[in-house]
Structure 1
């Protein structure tokens, strides 16, 4: 799920659709959907009505609720994607542990042969709100952060999870991000100091953490397959 700059909740599902729901109206619209060729599994939004959808064997760029470009026939399996909120770049993480960087040019994605390496198969990824950093989570229990302005040079690696990292989310302050894993733990990391972290052990005791979202710089929300939503107040 993601909320775009038009206050629409953008969701993708196993019913092979991307749906757009007004957050302000809080009303479900049966017509605001885009049917995909194959099942979508991850999405990301940016300004200008852009949505990047990562599907099984495909990457699709949507603009204003319409498909405008499709990458298929890929030589890797895409697992997660992130489009820079400032525009210009779409990053797609693969099961091969590689993150490919595509240039967003108008309504197309151009492969310029640039990529960076995660530590293992990519599970989730996100740009910081200001577009300065790209964080990539992987199956090898690591989160890797790259600096965008420095040609995606490695900023830091973040170790701590005891099992696969499945989800991450950036704080509005762009200095912290949270990660959740199969180990039922949530960590809140400081970008400039990998050793400075807040640990929430057993965030959800019955099941792994499935989703993270920030309300503000000191309030984090976590979800899990244990059928609960929890809100945490953070003190750094």
Structure 2
């Protein structure tokens, strides 16, 4: 018989449309049962309170509305004043539908926010009905809107219709303006960054150029002619026409040229030889004018100061030659124990800077005829040979010097006070330095280990550009007379011309107009064709 009961239970379970006879009562059934018990209880209270109560309808109304607090007219709900213990009345049952708390949503102001977001002008009449309203009605609507919603213009909910209020008088904002806009374009805005070509404008062969750090084999004249020393020969390259001329050839193959230097006017060239001689050549006639002796070792550095030619030798001595006199040797400076590889007169002729292989930088006075000369300043901060020397064109007392492989620093000196102004580590051997008057910059050529040219911004000494291309160390540099082009000579036997300081077109036109007025043939010539 058990299987019959199992089948009956299965069939009753699968009948979904039949009422459920088992299980707990539904929620609405429980509510109905509770309401029935409350009705019987309220009826008893009504019967008891009908006698003594003066207002029976009041108790009935309260009981019918299912108030949370007991009726005031019921004697059963009152606490007895005397006799027995005080008994707290029972908590009334929760009425139907009162099991959830519904807050007053008017406090959240959703309607007000929606009204302000969807209305173009909150508190103002619609534009369509504006013409149909009388002035009194418009004023009435405005007052009613303010009373109902408050001042909508002053209280904003995601509204960006009106401008921000101005700062109070006397308020100072310490923050800086990071961004600004200008409706009118700036027509005459000056370019802050110029283009610097990363490749040379021209490459020339320089066979047999000596790979010697202590020599000075390159110089550019005011007449736009470049003098290059190749072994025992000196060649002239005319940058205006491109013509190449061999100026001289030494007698034996063992001799070589150690230095060249143009006079300021550009019509005479001084040549220092490995034999210790200093020759003076007339370029127009291609003729040697003088052969000045006196050094016991090779001459590796030369510098002009008017008619005075100073020459530095491997012996450590500096001879001064007055080319106007028969007895040309007028003075000697002896301040170095090793070879003088750097020699430069200041633009105003007040100081002579000499750098030697003894790691010393000496600053001399202009009195070359002194019988017992002593350097004005001796700087020993460099840790290697000091070959690269360059005077600042707009500050005649400021000198830049560069050290060799063990030093690698460019240092700046104030020769009027004898102080070191600044120092920067270039990370490679400094071979030569040149200043750019146009851009207040300087360019340095380097050897081990990068073999590059670096342009620096003065006085911050931040790198502006690096020019690469030489496969070996860049030993020598020279600048064109207009200051726009730099030529570099490397141990890879090449000459590279870099147009890294090109002038602006407006300034170039102004210079040409000035040169035409003065009939100056030097500045009229173009640099490179």
TM range, normalised to the smaller chain?
0.7 to 0.9
Residue 304 of structure 2: aligned partner: 127
Deviates further, 77-86 or 29-38: 29-38
Q: Structure 1 residues 200, 25: closer, same or farther in 2, change over 3 A?
A: farther
Q: Which residue of 1 aligns with 2:365?
A: 190
Check conservation: 1:188, 1:199, Cα contact below 8 A.
Answer: yes
Distance 1:118 1:203, change over 3 A: farther
**Once the 2 structures are TM-superposed, how far is the Cα of residue 151 of structure 1 from its aligned partner?**
5.3
In structure 2, what is the Cα distance between the partners aligned to 1:121 and 1:48? 28
Cα distance change of structure 1 residues 96 and 174 upon mapping to structure 2, 3 Å threshold = same
CA distance in 1, matches of 2:402, 2:359: 11
Equivalent position of 1:227 in the other structure = 408
> Which of the two has greater strand per residue?
1
CA–CA distance in 1 between the matches of 2:401 and 2:238?
29
Contact 2:219 2:228 in 1 (8 A): yes
2:315 to 136, 140, 145: 140
Farther off after superposition, 195-204 or 210-219: 195-204
Bigger mean CA deviation after superposition, 142-151 or 213-222: 142-151
1:77-92 → structure 2 map (5 Å cutoff) = 77-92=256-271
Out of 347, 368, 378, the position equivalent to 1:200 is 378
Name the CA shift for 1:29/1:132 in 2 (closer, same or farther; >3 Å).
farther
String of CA shifts for 1:43-83, please: whole Å, max 9, x gaps.
11211211111121210111116342114542131111112
- Given that 1:126 and 1:170 are in contact with CA atoms closer than 8 Å, whether structure 2 keeps it comes out as yes
Q: Find the counterpart in structure 2 of residue 154 from structure 1.
A: 329
Q: Could you tell which deviates more after superposition, 81-90 or 68-77?
A: 68-77
> How far apart are 1:171 and its partner, in Å?
0.4
1:60 aligns with: 235
CA distance in 1, matches of 2:262, 2:270: 6
Pairwise CA distance, 1:87: 2.3
| 2:281 counterpart residue number | 102
Where 1:229 maps in the other structure, the secondary structure is strand
> Take 1:101 and 1:79, find their aligned partners in 2: how far apart are those partners?
14
2:214 is the alignment partner of 1:36? no
Deviation of residue 28 (structure 1)? 4.1
Which residue of the partner structure matches residue 250 of structure 2?
A: 74
CA drift at 1:110: 1.9
> Is 1:176 matched with 2:355?
no
Structure 1: gaps (5+ residues):
1-23
Shift of 1:169: 0.8
Q: Does 1:115 align with 2:303?
A: no
How far apart are residue 25 of structure 1 and its match?
A: 5.8
Instruction: Pick closer, same or farther for the CA change 1:97–1:142 going to 2, 3 Å.
Output: same
User: Secondary structure, in 3 states, of the residue corresponding to 2:217?
Assistant: strand
Residue in 2 that maps onto 1:21? none
Question: Is the alpha carbon distance of 1:73 and 1:220 closer, same or farther for their aligned partners in structure 2, counting shifts above 3 Å?
Answer: closer
Larger Rg, first or second structure (1 or 2):
2
